[in-house]
Amino acid sequence: MTTAVHPQRSKVLSGLIIAQIMVGASNGVTLSMGSLLAAHLAGAAWGGAAATFTTIGAAIFSIPLARMVQKYDRRTSLTSGMLLGCLGALAALIGAQFGIFAAILLGFLLLGAMSAVNLQARFAATDVASEDSRGRDLSLVVWSTTIGAIAGPNLFTPSARFSEWLGLEQHAGAYLLCLLGQLIAIVVWRFTLPKGLKPAGSTTTQTLVKKLSFGARRAISTVAVAHFSMVGLMSLAAVHMDHMGVSLSVIGLTISLHVAGMYALSPVFGLLSDKIGRRFGIFLGLGLLGAATLFMIFWSEPQWSVIASMILLGLGWNCTLVSSSALLIDETSAPARTFAQGRSDLIMNLAGAAGGVLAGPLIAFGGMPLFASVVAAVVAIQAVVNLA
């Protein structure tokens, strides 16, 4: 039986979309700038610290924020996570300005709450969707991140000039812009998300674990593999290109194209997921991720190859995220959804953090082809799991 559409669906989706634009811009400028900042202060080996610590932070905050949804509502959870992200932006700004590496790492960790909120917003869209439109509504919220996320990396030069105009260190302005974007998102949510909005029902953790079906667990593992692949390869892409002698503007363009792949085609993937099936979307996403690794295995040095790999990586992550997230909702009873969503985001971010942690040492030891080969193997294993 098809579920009814929530009476405030349009208002809620509009608020989520506007806020995601702000979050996308904040993430886009801070993560890529963060990798350059970390490498500048502590050496190339720390180039993946921004993505790694942010992903660890997202993992840490995902479960508490999910429980906050169950106890209170989406608005309370999303705004609380964003306030933590504001503190992270302030810590990173101070660290950049005064060269305090520990403050920068703390900032990255707290900015993980912003990433956790970014991920949770896609599930908020399903709270107001009908059963037949889950993939579409979820994908619209994911897609809305495109506008800000593409603009974010291209704010490298303007943010550096903004920093200079304010008398700040060149990397610090990015975090001031991030803070502003997050505050705008909080205000938007205050007026568009109704009190009490959350998935129906509640139960204990022990009961919920038993209610997670094999399909739900497979959806969780699939999105975790996608995030491992994306974070691992993306986290050192800017540093890899910098070592190749690529200009900052081209690096920014590459990251923008990667981010466009992560979000721009979400409505297409959502429609495919609704009309053809979740498993089709999952296999398509895993195939795109596998193709991205091949470019980095066999042609890791040419600039065109890195750009192609980053685009395919973004597309594969996008397709897999949309289809797996919709499958998780399909495979989970209403009372168990908040728990399942928090568990999914926790495992997803832990996998992403593992990708970021492994990328640095493996690339330092055997170059980008070695790490890309590891990612390719993990993706292939997950594809076999999904055949079951």
Give the domain ranges of the chain: 9-385
Residue 70 contacts residue 198 (beta carbons within 8 Å): yes
The confidence score (pLDDT) of residue 249 equals 67
State the pLDDT at residue 242: 66
Domain 9-385 architecture: Up-down Bundle (1.20)
Closest CA to 221 of 388, 338, 386: 386
Which parts of the chain sit beneath pLDDT 70? 1-7, 31-32, 35, 43-45, 47-48, 132, 149-157, 159-160, 200-211, 238-240, 242-249, 300
What is the C-alpha separation between 357 and 235, in angstroms, rounded?
9
**pLDDT tens digits, 241-263:** 766 666 666 777 777 788 778 88
Q: How many residues does the chain have?
A: 388
Measured CA to CA, the distance from residue 169 to residue 275 in angstroms comes to: 50
Instruction: Name every residue whose Cβ is closer than 8 Å to that of residue 276 and which is 6 or more positions away in sequence.
Output: none
- pLDDT tens column, 91-140: 988 988 888 888 988 998 999 999 888 888 888 887 877 776 777 788 88
Residue 327 structure tokens: 């499958």
Cα distances (Å, whole numbers) of residue 85 to 21, 72, 170, 235:
15, 20, 21, 20
Residue 157: per-residue pLDDT: 67
pLDDT at 248: 67
Q: What is the pLDDT of residue 206?
A: 45
Q: pTM here?
A: 0.75
